[in-house]
Amino acid sequence: MRAVVFENYGEFPSMTEVAKPEPGPGEVLMRVAGAGACHSDISIYRVFEEGDPGAQRPPFVLGHENAGWVEELGPGVSERVQIGGAYLAYGPIGCLHCRQCVAGVETYCENASTLPYLAVGLGRDGGMAEYMTVPAHHLIPLGDADPVAAAPLADAGLTPYHAVKESLPYLAGGGRYALAIGLGGLGRIGVQILKALTGATVIATDVKEEARARAEADGAVTVDAGEDQVERIRELTGGRGVDVAFDFVGAKPTLATAMASMAQGGRCNLVGIAGGTHEFSFFTNPYETYVTNTYWGSVPELWEVVDMYKAGQIRPEVERFAMDDALEAYRKLEAGEVSGRAVVMPNPS
């Protein structure tokens, strides 16, 4: 079968023939409907080197944001899993036996350092292929929903959902402000989640005008990325600053903007992995600002994301690519030319 394979550090992925996988005990074989192209894949094949934090050893099939139809059940899988049914696949894979994994928080598996991979498409073969294997307890039923349109929920939906949910205590109450920096795959859905779950005023910014326009359509107030950006963000909050800033880029300038925009006692939530750093000392930051980073999300949270999708509260904008054009999806993503999320369709429906 055809697959998009990350072959070597620093190398653009290739379209390669690989063997069709077989589901192991507790796994299913999924015929992939949609596999989202995430900006993290660019870090995987362009930025990371052997041994870097986050680096996963090649080769493996990319695609950590997937949905499809269950084709076959591996040994021991409950027949409650419906053959032919459409499911979203949770991506992270932990040891399954520690207290985090048992709670469905496989992102923070206590034994992560001893495992051979982080997730499907991150060390283990992912969904940019006609078939993939998925642990059965990672399947979330999509019902009648189109699995191509829903694929981004598995990462571009779940990651901002987890970040926003953890930030809710800071956003509960009247007169609160949230800032979203970077309105691509994750940030756009992040704005939708903030609007649905909080009463906060959502301020959003991106270097791209069309990305800002989409966030405005979703109810955000936008600020462009000009020189006096922080001043304008502060003005919108009456000078106080934002209660939570979500940095969906993570570059040095975006982190600087996030920190300079904080209200005293707010939460700065770094999501983007661009590797930017920020100086931290007594006088350089607003007092009692809590700075944190959040990684992906849990299995129960992904069920909640699917509920929000079915309720029309999350509306991923999907640019569809046939398998023949999968590498073009990555080229466009790197060039900043994707609107919303690029989703590759390895199989015709």
Site residues, ligand NAD (CB under 6 A): 38-40, 43, 155, 159, 181-187, 205-208, 211, 225, 248-251, 253-254, 271-274, 294-296, 333, 336
CA distances from 28 to 22, 68, 90, 132, 136 (A): 8, 11, 13, 8, 6
**Residue 274 in contact with Zn ion, rule: CB under 5 A:** no
**Residue 38 in contact with Zn ion, rule: CB under 5 A:** yes
- Please state the closest distance from residue 265 (CB atom) to ligand NAD, in A: 23
- Please state the closest distance from residue 107 (CB atom) to Zn ion, in A: 12
Among ligand NAD, Zn ion, none, the one that 133 touches (CB under a kind-dependent 5 to 8 A) is none
Of 183 and 308, nearer to ligand NAD (C-beta) is 183
Alpha carbon distance 275, 290 (integer Å):
19
Alpha carbon distance 215, 209 (integer Å):
10
Of 155 and 243, nearer to Zn ion (C-beta) is 155
- Please state the closest distance from residue 106 (CB atom) to ligand NAD, in A: 13
Report yes or no: 79 and 270 within 8 Å, Cβ to Cβ: no
Of 185 and 316, nearer to ligand NAD (C-beta) is 185
Phi, psi (degrees; rounded to nearest 5) at 135: -55, 135
Alpha carbon distance 139, 137 (integer Å):
6
- Please state the closest distance from residue 78 (CB atom) to ligand NAD, in A: 29
Of 222 and 289, nearer to ligand NAD (C-beta) is 222
Of 294 and 298, nearer to ligand NAD (C-beta) is 294
Burial zone of 325 (CB within 10 Å; 0-12 exposed, 13-18 middle, 19+ buried): middle
Choose the binding region for Zn ion from 11-19, 31-39, 196-204, 218-226 (rule: CB under 5 A): 31-39
Among ligand NAD, Zn ion, none, the one that 15 touches (CB under a kind-dependent 5 to 8 A) is none
- Please state the closest distance from residue 108 (CB atom) to ligand NAD, in A: 11
Number of helices (H), then strands (E), in the chain: 10, 18
Q: How many CB atoms lie within 10 A of CB 300?
A: 13
**Residue 40 in contact with Zn ion, rule: CB under 5 A:** yes
Torsional sign, CA 280, 284, 288, 293: negative
Beta strand residue intervals within 78-153, DSSP E: 86-89, 119-120, 123-124, 131-135, 139-141
Beta strand residue intervals within the chain, DSSP E: 2-6, 14-17, 27-37, 60-61, 66-73, 86-89, 119-120, 123-124, 131-135, 139-141, 177-181, 201-205, 221-223, 242-247, 262-270, 290-293, 318-322, 341-345
Of 2 and 195, nearer to ligand NAD (C-beta) is 195
Choose the binding region for Zn ion from 150-158, 212-220, 267-275, 281-289 (rule: CB under 5 A): 150-158
Choose the binding region for Zn ion from 130-138, 153-161, 255-263, 334-342 (rule: CB under 5 A): 153-161
Three-class SS of residue 5? strand
**Token code pair at residue 216:** 């405005």
Alpha carbon distance 256, 248 (integer Å):
13
Three-class SS of residue 82? coil
Of 87 and 248, nearer to ligand NAD (C-beta) is 248
Applying CB under 5 A, among 155, 206, 218, 301 the residue interacting with Zn ion is 155
Of 220 and 274, nearer to ligand NAD (C-beta) is 274
String marking each residue 220-259 x if it binds Zn ion according to CB under 5 A: ----------------------------------------
- Please state the closest distance from residue 328 (CB atom) to ligand NAD, in A: 15
CA 77 to chain centre: 28
Residues that bind Zn ion (CB under 5 A): 38, 40, 155
